[in-house]
Every structure is written in structure tokens, then in C-alpha cells.
Amino acid sequence: MVPKIIKDVVHDHMEIPIYIQDFVDSVQVQRLRDLKQVGTTSFVFPCASHHRFEHSLGVSHLAGYYIDRLKTNQPELEITEQEQKCIRIAGLCHDLGHGPFSHAFESWAHRTEAGKSFHHEDMSIKMLNYLIDDKGLDYSTDDIKLIESLITGEALHGRSNRRFIYDIVANDRNSIDVDKFDYLARDSYYLGRAIVCDFTRLIEFSRVIDNEICYCSKEVYNLYELFHTRYSLHKLVYSHKVGKAIEFMISDAFMKADPYLKISEQLDDPKEFITLTDCLLNRIEYSKEKELEESRRIIKNIRTRNIYKFVDEVILLNDNHLEITAEKIANIGSGIVPEDIIVDNLKLNYGLKDADPVQHTSFYTRYDNSAKIKVGPEHISLMIPREFQEKRIRIFTRNKEKSIKIQEAFRKLLNDYNIEPNPSTTVSPMKK
């Protein structure tokens, strides 16, 4: 066998080594063809119908390119062939644990007793082991543990001197990694949005210093562009109010179907979980069973665009720990029950909660690439943001006729906490 060449819309021609083909040609990886990359966002932006399969190929490609480049430019790092192979495999397999509609499914799972501890990263590890056993691939226990740790970004015990290799696929130090490089570029392409961050420059102008991947100081603003792109996509696309409304509807459809289809019982065993893809929606939609009637009704409403209604939202300061519940709103209003109301607690940030990820990043200068330095925002631009996370409380309703009542109750509740409502989100009366 010889390496395959795949033409990609983001990375052009990608070479797929033979050992990666062994993983690609598996039911576990091929399953990713049936998972849309941006979940319910594709219901709002029709062209964003790409899948986690091509994203995973892209992450594997970038991970391999990155580690190969570091090995060539810094032979003193003594990067091993095992590390090169395992990083590529980790890039390919990092999303194996996603369920139908990706993060929407994870949110639904947390509503169930069986899925309260479900995290797609953990399932990715289980699916990886299932894949290796299923195909009888020849990887040692040490190899598998390394791949697992590269997927989670948590360095193996005893490998602290190789901490830099964990910065490539899933960087928990500052969240700058090839997973982000690929999905920001790929999602932007399919959304028809220009991407202003140049991730190829970030790779080219990076090197390992003191066991950490550092970037040339002239790329510091490029990093802020990277994180601003992430924030913009989350604000304008991933958390679009229509996409979120449809996400809540799919969640309700799954919840009503769960007693019959036993979806939540498939959250622990990878051999059961592998059947859960976006096709689950079609399984319910085209069913004839009486037990799935309510779920079918919800899905039909999605198809006919009779979706849950966005009611109101408020932006809070990060130190405001206000908790709004459906019960609190229903208690204030008249003729409202908690089941009418969905409270969406949303946090938008630069990828590191309320911290500035660039200030958790080390740099080097063009004149000395052997010492790492920090670059404060005061040395970059006076226009650098001072806040890196915003909290939003958004209210949706399953019952459009009660929109005005729910908004009035919500705003009375805000008034009790001396919070000014958003004047631009006033609900108009329902048209007869």
C-alpha cells in the first residue's frame, strides 16, 4: 500500500499515511460521515452541511504536519516516530465520541440520569479502544495510552519532559491547537465567512522552548484574531437563537423517544453508541410506532419551521451569579407553567473561560529564539479587550402564545435584581 492523497477544501492535498488509512477504513471513523460538524447550525446556514469526518482528517493532517515540522527544525527535541504516529492518530480520533448533532446531544445526555457524566472526550477514548480491538491493529498498551492522553491533552505520568507534544491536538494550556485551526477555517469556509486569522503562520513561526510551544512575538495579534474568530463564530453562528431553538426541540424529541428507543442506555458501551448518529432523527421521523408519536410531532414542527420562540435575553457581568430558572419565571407570571419555558445559560469567551488565552501563551523574539517571554496587552494594542467572557441568560418558550406573558414575568424578575432589560428584544404580539 502507498499513502493516499485526498483533496481538501481547506488544506488542499493531504497525504494519508498507510497506518492512518487503517483507522480511516473502520466503521468507527466512517461513522463520522453521519455527524454534521456544526450540529443544528446547518438548519440555519444550509451550506454548513460538512461533517466531522473531513474535520477529523484535517486535524490529523495538521497534527502530522506540525510535529514533523518541529522535528525537522528542532532535532534536539528528539521527537520519536512513535510520537509522530500517535499524534496523527489522536488528531483523527479525537471526535469519535460525538453523538447526534454533536454538542446538542451532549447537552441532552446531561438531562438524563444515565448521561449526567457523559462527555464526548471520554467516549472518544472508548471508541478508540473499540476500533483497535475490532480491527486487530497492532498497538502496544503504551501506544494506546499515549494516543488517549493526546486526545484529552493531559500529559501521561512520567512524561512531563514531553509536555509540548500535548499542546498540538488538545491544548489545555491556552487552547491553541490544530483542532481549533481546522474547525475555524473549515466552518468559516462552509459558512461563506472570511477568516482573518492565518493559522499556517502560527505553525511556521512556532518553536519549543522549555518544553512549551511558543510563538514569534510578531504573531501575537494574529493570536488575538484567532480567538476573536472563535468568539464571533460562537456568538453569530453556533449559538444562533434559531439554531438553539431547534437544538432544544431535538433534545425534547430525544427525551420523549428515550423510554421506547432506550437512547440513554447506549451512552456507556461504544458498541451500542456507534449506532447513534444524526440518522437518529430520521429513524424517529419516519417511524410508525405510537410510542414515538410525540417525538414525530416535534420533528415535523422543525421541518415546517414551527419552532420554539426566542423570548428575551440579558447580558450579565462575569461577577454576577444570578440564577434564573423556569420555576422562578412561572411563579411570577400568570397562566405560565415551567414546562412552557426554557432557560439557556450561555457563556461566550475566547476559549479559556474568563481569562485572556494570549496571556497564557509564551513567545520568543526574532532576535532571540532560545528564551521565552510574555507580551502584555499594553505592548500590543490599546484596542485589546479587557473582558474575555460574557454571560447571557436567554429565554425560549415551547408555547408561542405565552411569549408576552413569559417576557413580562422575566423582566419583572430582572427588575427585582435591578437589572436593566434589553430594549431591542421586546416581543411583538402574536399575529392572528
Which one-letter DSSP state was computed for residue 80?
Answer: -
**Closest listed residue to residue 54, CA positions, set 91, 18, 22:** 91
The set of cell numbers assigned to 302 is 422543525
Catalytic residue among 98, 120, 157, 240: 120
Alpha carbons 99 and 113: distance in angstroms, whole number: 17
The set of residues, in sequence order, having a beta carbon less than 8 Å from that of 357 and lying 6+ positions away, is 174, 175, 176, 223, 227, 350, 351, 388
Alpha carbons 92 and 52: distance in angstroms, whole number: 10
At 312, phi and psi to the nearest 5? -170, 165
Catalytic (active site) residue 51: no
**Closest listed residue to residue 83, CA positions, set 72, 69, 95, 68:** 68
Given 3-state DSSP classes, what are the helix, strand and coil percentages for the chain, each rounded to the nearest 5? 55, 15, 35
Task: Mark out the alpha helices in 74-217 (DSSP H runs).
Answer: 81-93, 103-109, 120-135, 141-152, 178-191, 199-204
**Closest listed residue to residue 96, CA positions, set 279, 280, 277:** 277
- Residues annotated as catalytic are 120
